[in-house]
Structure 1
Amino acid sequence: MERQLLLDLGNDITKVRDKSDLIVLFSERIKSLMPFTHTIVTLIDRKDETYTPFLLDHRASVIKDHPEYEDMVKGRFPLGEPFIESVLAADGPVDFNLAGIVDAPQSPAFLRVNFEKGIRHVLMTTLRLGDQPIGFIHVYTDQEDGFSQEFKDIVRRITPQLSSAVSNIIKNEEILKKEREKSFLLDFSNDMTAVRSREDLAIVVKGALRKLNPDGGYVIRKMNADGATMSAYLYDTGASKFDKDLLEQVLAEKYPIHDGVQNRIMDSYIPLLFNVRRELQRAYQLSYLDLWENMGFETMVGIALRNADTNVGLLLLSIDEINIPILQGICSQIAIAMGNIMANEEILRRQAEQQFMLTFSKDITGVKTKSDLDFVVSNVLQGLFQTRIAVLYLLAEDQVTLRPYLFDKQFFDESEVAEREEFYSLNINEEQVRLVFESSQPILLDIDANLEVKCLKLSIQRKQRELSSVYASALRLGDQKLGMVWMLGEQISEPLLQGICAQISTAVSNVLANEHILRLKRQLEDENDYLKQQLNTNFDEIVGSGQAMQQVYRLISRVAESNATVLLLGETGTGKELMAKAIHNASARKGKLMIKVNCAAMPASLIESELFGHERGAFTGAVERRIGKFELANDSTLFLDEVGEMPLETQVKLLRVLQEKEMERLGGKTTIKLNVRIIAATNRDLEAEVKAGRFRSDLYYRLNVFPIKLPPLRDRREDIESLAQFFLSKFSKSAGKKSVKLSANALRQLQAYLWPGNVRELEHLIERSVLLATDPMIREFFLPQATGLTTEVPVMPSDLPLEEVERRHIIQVLRRCGGKISGLGGAAEILGIPGNTVHSKMRKLGISKADYYTH
């Protein structure tokens, strides 16, 4: 019977196709000899000197419902403990009474679990291949008397067959494993052929690695261009929970290759297994180790990614066991794909750079203004380097000061820069500035406290951006220093930046030249405006030949050809500006425009800017440089009208200019030499103003070099007729009328009037009378009654009805206005009512054209 049993068992073993079938057949054949509950086969692993479950009969197992069963099935048990050492030392099966060994020190946990489920004895036999133990067969029984010697002998004789069968199963599994590896790598290789981008690679890698470890995570890091650091390229967190902020921090960080972990991976040609807790105990201070622990990863595998002899990066994978062939096959293909993708990305990046540079070169040629320059340069820097100009400085005229010209609005407030230009300006002798100018290429500077305070003044914004460095490049046009540009950033291509800065230099030069042309154009326009104003006045002809005016002419003829300062005194309307023009036109300076400033016509806050000009940023609203009237009048004449109205603080600066013959623009540092002839005019009594403290005595004496007092019109009545005739001719032409004449009565009115407004009042009266005249003769003037004139005024009968009085008055006014109802000089203006009301009253009162209009 025993022989038949062995024969049958041998036949059964030859038919085994699945490893689980072996233990089931074994149990079924020998259970007829000895009652037992279940049996298993464990294998020895010489790598870590352990043994693990290999073949199990789950259906017959009495411990399959035990809470620790799953751990037992996956467990690894040391070969060095006394229980298993006694099995290895025996030359056949050994029967153990569990009650005697379950509580012994170092006894394996599976003995206690079986004992708790009613098992009382275990028969242990070593499986050997030749002289080499390869595993054990465990037979368990719940019988108190254990296993018989006969059963032990049968097991001893069966053991060689079982050892051979187990060995064959192991070999078959290795063959199947290699086939699966080949199939896995072949599928992976087929999938990789379709990879064209980083996104494609992420999908294929994620699918492959999930097959190896469904719940695990991984990260692929690439070698950075600096050759000294690595950054995250692809990642997957798997099924683990994680701290999102910590994950983002880890992914954003650059890690030096020689950080204690990465260098060990890169130096190894086989995958390396890392225990996360042990690595943390090494105190490397690496945030990704904290992340792994936070995600619950206990073991990580690291393998270098190499494309031929080039280090591309590395793979870190959460997995407990290393399948070296598969990992090496995966990583070799990942490395090739990464190399190809990064090479393609580099080609695309260079093509994009070339396109940006071509567009930039095209756009920069069209730059004419500062705003154009800001737009074009910002576009190219944002497109190429994801940055902007922090500050673009230009070298001032003194060749020492660098003033901000363009700046990023998110770092600077424009009005604050204008108000605090000195604070934001640099000195060419500062250490960092000197370094930039001494270098022929852009330089990278670390932002320390010194650089931040002296050059950037960007502490808050920089900290928000977490930027620690700045690129600076000099702007030159040939050997001429124009300024420099500062850009915040850490990965800016220096060759590209050098080319951009060269084109910026040319553009800045063009913009400055264009601004200079625009300033000259504005200056020319200003001069043209002055010229037009002068051309509109026939200032060569001064009307008047009386004795008072003859004295004025003699004084003008004596002073005109000199450079002496002239002070014109006289009441309002006496013709002081006309006299100033006459003096200028009789001088050697007549070839240039006389410049006029009315000191009473502008606020005290603006008169200094009007006289002396200002630099950009000198005060709020000073957005560009302005040339003052003194500069505009250089080598010519400056007429200061109403000089008595000048504020005291401006008088001080005017006195300095008159004394020193030089000035500075507001907010400027450069001294400008002047050659200006001053003619001042006032209707005030300056001596009285000096005594009252409203006018500086030293300025008065400086201006009062050659005073000329212009007589009022009431003191030169002999000139009234010639002046009236002059104005009649002038305004008749401008009004398109035939020459209008004066009646004897009208002339007597003019000569009898006191003329508080002098010649100007006479001029305005004649102009108004010409416009209102309905025939070629002006017969009377409507002058203020305060003059005491005895002109005949039509008397309205007192016994007329109110409507008739109103009707006659409207007709009288309409006749004076030549039938004109609305507009300047119309009846509506004289009556002080709207034109529509005049029309309404005319209809109501029956006033027709025949009542007031005569040919």
Structure 2
Amino acid sequence: MYKLIKKISDMEFGMDYYQRERQVILQLSEDITRIHKKADLMALLSLRIKSYFYYVHAIVTLIDETENVYRPFILDPTSSPLRDHPEYPTLIKTGFDLDEPFIQQVLAADGPVSFLLEEVISHPKSPSFLRVNYACGIKEILMTPLKSNGRTVAFLHVYADNKDSFTPAFRSLIKGIAPQISHAVSNVIRNELIVQKEENNKILLDASYDLSGVRNREDLAMAVRQSLKRLKALKGYVICTINDDRLTTSTYIYDNITMPENEDLSEMLDFQYLINDGLQDRVLASPIPIFINIDSEIDRGITANYICFWKSMGFRKMIGVALRNGNTDLGILWIGIDDINLTLLKGICLQISIAMANIMANDALVKKQEQQQLLLNFCDDIAGVRTKADLRVAIFNVFDKLLNTKLAMLNLLEDDGLTLRHYMWDESLFHHVKDSFEERLNARLDIHENYTVRVLNSNDAIILNVEEELKRDPGNPYAQLWKEVGFKYTYATALRVGNTDIGTLWVLSDAINREFIKGICSQISVACANIRANERILAYKRILETENELLKEQMKTIYNFEEIIGRGDAMQKVYGLMSMVAESNSTVLLTGETGTGKELIARAIHNASSRKNKVMVKVNCAALPANLIESELFGHEKGAFTGALEKRIGKFEMANNGTLFLDEIGEMPLDAQVKLLRVLQEKELERIGGTTTIKVNVRIIAATNRNLATEVAEGRFRSDLFYRLNVFPIHLPPLRDRRSDIALLAQFFLDRYSKNTGKNVKVLSARVIKELNGYSWPGNVRELEHVIERSVLMTTDSVIRDVYLPVKSDDAVNETNVSNRTLEQVERAHIIDTLKRCAGKLAGPGGAAEYLDVPSTTLHSKLKKLGIKKSDYFAE
């Protein structure tokens, strides 16, 4: 210290003062010219000048005119007594106001100006660094404005811990070297800018290199993190991309290293955010990055859940940057960071935007190729479709490969061109809204329904936003159903082949790919048309096959119609009635006991009518279960009831323009009689499960072995149906009332079965004919036929000498036989005889149980006990 004071004294009071001052200034100026870095200038201030004068430490602050502040630029942390003060980290980053009185005095001075800290720190606008220096023992500050081109660009601060350090000689020295220090500061700034520019260029080049090699999202996420990491202080980032609807954004990539993996984050990543939320729209509208203070935004009313999530993660500030490729907004980059080089950030974001655009374009190309391949595969699947089941598999396969896209409903137009049939749907969509869905499913749908009209009248598909549809019409049941299912959009299009509408297709989705679904729908239209054509062909084929079987059956018995066996008066009366009614279209009711030949008479009437070129369709009403009679007569649609696996054409449709023979009409249940009556009166019907009315032109010939008048009186047959059928009744006499025809019929059957069995049996013996004439024939002609057939099979001669009759007709013989039998044998014979007279029917009206006056269960028990088999009483 003594030597330093001695030097100063010599400079101030020696004879060569000015010469030595000049030498010091020249030496310092020469040193200053070699300054290119902050460290060089700091060494000058902390070492060289200190070798001539005493002070504690010195710093340089730089003026920022854009913010009208001055900030620390060059510091001396080694000498500064402030380095351990808690406010030191804040002070070195703070910008101090240029308008406060303290610094205004410095700006107005031509050279160095000093202040005693105790005098200036009490001023309310004094900068805080004065107070902190005073607290650390500094007494006086010397401030020197550093100018360049006549404009102050920086300040030199020199601090002393006593009040006498800044002597005139020191002030003179500082004033002398101030221009050189100003120039040195400019050089340092210039050099730092050059170095910073080189570093920035390197960062941008490295970022460009990293981003140029990305091919997918995973590569992009890693490259973005590496690029942003070079900007320092990175806490995490998220890139949101704008969705195809241009209304929402979704998470594209994020920093999976710094972001925590938890349920909240997973939910955030899957969410779609509205762009117009007061924050995202601001970022997208801004040409520069926007700094976001999270607390301020929440206080301002921003309620987006992602900003609350950021706050919960501890972020206080975020930067949002719009990512653009040309004039197209791609998305937003959100960065959790306190400070950043905006120029670098903009450059990196430009590279990110280009990389994103390339990936999106590549993804779009790959997606388009996948969709094209999917369409090609679907076309291949559709080409092989022949049935509804095949079509269902093809449609569900293609929709399963589309995310969040499901078949809601496929409706087909009926033949009437007015109503639509629900043809196909995805049951998995509606399992949790079963009631409301089934209500819609059971509702009659026609082309005048509001949505159907819009779809069929549009040349293109329509896309409905479910929320908007509910706002427009809150009570709309279809929109309510779509909302309950949980999808955002409904895609509806008309299914057309050429210019012909064949139905409508409804698809539910969260993201509609219009062109792709349009391609699928065009293929579905063709497939549906082909399936319907194939179904019609199969239906016609079944009709033809049925007609063919009926024709074959007629061919087998055609010879019976050329000459019905019977010459007696009773049969001549029947022939007369047949000739009267055959040419007309009147309904005929054939009555008579079982086995009297009612079906033969029906066929003869048909073959003699104008309808003979059409088949006569037969329905045995007694042979069908009650629950199947309606389906048998009127047909049913596929799926009309459990077990209806395909569409069935009813007997009425098969007999259209022909004859329908309703055998055993008296056995028809009452509920079926009602529907039969309607068809007979209106000459139209609807299939079960169908909505289309079908016109029919059918002649009815009914037959029964019951007394329908008695059945009507006892409430088992509808009177209106009886009168509708009893237009032209023909009663067929039992064989016991036409004894003269027995021998003729027996010889006829003998010739038939001799030929069929290949035996040479020619005649019946006189004794056999006598036995036949003496038998009561409860089974009528059918029983006679079966007796002759059995006799032919049993004989070994050319003459039948014995016949095997169940009961002899001679009363005396009967009495003898009864006296020689056990009670069990008599009971067995009586039950068999009754069953024959009832045509084998056990229970119900007209059944054997009714005639025997026993419960049907008792009759079944007796059949089992007595060993009575079906072959004993019923001839097939």
Instruction: Give the TM interval when normalised to the shorter protein.
Output: 0.7 to 0.9
1:238-387 maps to which residues of 2 (within 5 A)?
Answer: 239=258, 245=264, 248=267, 252-253=271-272, 255-256=274-275, 269-279=287-297, 283=301, 289-290=307-308, 292-308=310-326, 315-377=333-395, 387=405
What are the superposed Cα offsets for residues 768-802 of structure 1, whole Å, 9 maximum, x if unpaired?
Answer: 66667789878564836999757999xx9xxxxxx
Contact 2:791 2:802 in 1 (8 A): no
How far did residue 325 of structure 1 move? 3.5
- CA gap 1:727/1:70 in 2 versus in 1, 3 angstroms: farther
SS in 2 for 1:481: strand
Aligned partner of 1:597 among 606, 619, 622 = 619
Q: Determine the C-alpha separation between the residues in 1 that align with 2:608 and 2:122.
A: 132
- CA gap 1:408/1:103 in 2 versus in 1, 3 angstroms: farther
Q: Determine the C-alpha separation between the residues in 1 that align with 2:622 and 2:376.
A: 56
Aligned partner of 1:524 among 534, 544, 548 = 544
- CA gap 1:662/1:189 in 2 versus in 1, 3 angstroms: closer
Q: Determine the C-alpha separation between the residues in 2 that align with 1:415 and 1:610.
A: 31
Aligned twin of 1:44: 63
- CA gap 1:227/1:608 in 2 versus in 1, 3 angstroms: closer
Judge which range, 120-129 or 377-386, deviates more: 377-386
Aligned twin of 1:801: none
Aligned twin of 1:823: none
Amino acid of the structure 1 residue aligned with 2:68: E
Judge which range, 162-171 or 587-596, deviates more: 162-171
Aligned twin of 1:209: 228
**2:466 is equivalent to residue 473 of structure 1:** no
1:121-200 maps to which residues of 2 (within 5 A)?
Answer: 121=139, 123-130=141-148, 131-138=150-157, 147=165, 149=167, 153=171, 162-200=181-219
Aligned twin of 2:665: 643
How far did residue 180 of structure 1 move? 0.5
Aligned partner of 1:696 among 718, 721, 729 = 718
Contact 1:393 1:403 in 2 (8 A): yes
- CA gap 1:550/1:144 in 2 versus in 1, 3 angstroms: same
Q: Determine the C-alpha separation between the residues in 2 that align with 1:430 and 1:605.
A: 34
How far did residue 128 of structure 1 move? 0.9
What are the superposed Cα offsets for residues 409-448 of structure 1, whole Å, 9 maximum, x if unpaired?
Answer: 3345799899868754433334443333333222333441
Aligned twin of 2:90: 71
- CA gap 1:87/1:623 in 2 versus in 1, 3 angstroms: farther
SS in 1 for 2:623: coil
**2:590 is equivalent to residue 568 of structure 1:** yes
Q: Determine the C-alpha separation between the residues in 2 that align with 1:489 and 1:533.
A: 57
- CA gap 1:177/1:739 in 2 versus in 1, 3 angstroms: farther
1:610-689 maps to which residues of 2 (within 5 A)?
Answer: 610-615=632-637, 622=644, 624-689=646-711
How far did residue 179 of structure 1 move? 0.6
Q: Determine the C-alpha separation between the residues in 2 that align with 1:251 and 1:627.
A: 53
Judge which range, 737-746 or 398-407, deviates more: 737-746
Contact 2:618 2:663 in 1 (8 A): yes
How far did residue 525 of structure 1 move? 2.0
SS in 1 for 2:729: strand
What are the superposed Cα offsets for residues 231-271 of structure 1, whole Å, 9 maximum, x if unpaired?
Answer: 65444477366996578557743645x77656665565554
How far did residue 760 of structure 1 move? 3.5
Aligned partner of 2:418 among 400, 403, 408 = 400
Aligned twin of 2:734: 712
- TM-score, normalised to structure 1, is 0.78
Aligned twin of 2:508: 488
- CA gap 1:377/1:570 in 2 versus in 1, 3 angstroms: same
Aligned twin of 2:855: none
- CA gap 1:13/1:558 in 2 versus in 1, 3 angstroms: same
Aligned twin of 2:452: 433
**2:478 is equivalent to residue 457 of structure 1:** yes
- TM-score, normalised to structure 2, is 0.76
SS in 2 for 1:399: coil
Judge which range, 168-177 or 6-15, deviates more: 6-15
**2:533 is equivalent to residue 510 of structure 1:** no
Aligned twin of 1:105: 124
Over aligned residues, Cα RMSD in angstroms? Answer: 4.6
What are the superposed Cα offsets for residues 744-789 of structure 1, whole Å, 9 maximum, x if unpaired?
Answer: 7777765555443334444455556666778987856483699975
Unpaired segments ≥5 residues, structure 2: 1-6, 9-19, 821-863, 869-876
How far did residue 353 of structure 1 move? 4.3
Q: Determine the C-alpha separation between the residues in 2 that align with 1:744 and 1:682.
A: 35
Amino acid of the structure 2 residue aligned with 1:685: N
SS in 1 for 2:596: coil
**2:605 is equivalent to residue 586 of structure 1:** no
Judge which range, 652-661 or 222-231, deviates more: 222-231
Amino acid of the structure 1 residue aligned with 2:416: D
Amino acid of the structure 1 residue aligned with 2:227: A
Q: Determine the C-alpha separation between the residues in 1 that align with 2:475 and 2:451.
A: 9
Amino acid of the structure 1 residue aligned with 2:206: D
- CA gap 1:297/1:771 in 2 versus in 1, 3 angstroms: farther
Aligned twin of 1:804: none
Aligned twin of 1:443: 462
How far did residue 636 of structure 1 move? 1.7
Amino acid of the structure 2 residue aligned with 1:698: D
Q: Determine the C-alpha separation between the residues in 1 that align with 2:389 and 2:637.
A: 19
Aligned twin of 2:780: 758
Contact 2:59 2:75 in 1 (8 A): yes
How far did residue 47 of structure 1 move? 2.5
SS in 1 for 2:405: coil
Identical residues among aligned pairs (%)? 49
Contact 2:577 2:730 in 1 (8 A): yes
Aligned twin of 1:809: none
- CA gap 1:343/1:418 in 2 versus in 1, 3 angstroms: closer
Judge which range, 648-657 or 146-155, deviates more: 146-155
Q: Determine the C-alpha separation between the residues in 2 that align with 1:664 and 1:511.
A: 22
Q: Determine the C-alpha separation between the residues in 2 that align with 1:41 and 1:348.
A: 59
Judge which range, 355-364 or 245-254, deviates more: 245-254
**2:801 is equivalent to residue 783 of structure 1:** no
Amino acid of the structure 1 residue aligned with 2:623: A
- CA gap 1:421/1:746 in 2 versus in 1, 3 angstroms: farther
Contact 1:584 1:590 in 2 (8 A): yes
Contact 2:55 2:159 in 1 (8 A): yes
Contact 2:791 2:803 in 1 (8 A): no
Length, aligned pairs only = 794
- CA gap 1:80/1:331 in 2 versus in 1, 3 angstroms: same
Contact 2:658 2:699 in 1 (8 A): yes
Amino acid of the structure 2 residue aligned with 1:649: D
Aligned partner of 1:119 among 114, 131, 137 = 137
Amino acid of the structure 1 residue aligned with 2:701: I
SS in 1 for 2:672: helix
Q: Determine the C-alpha separation between the residues in 2 that align with 1:253 and 1:417.
A: 29
Contact 1:411 1:461 in 2 (8 A): no
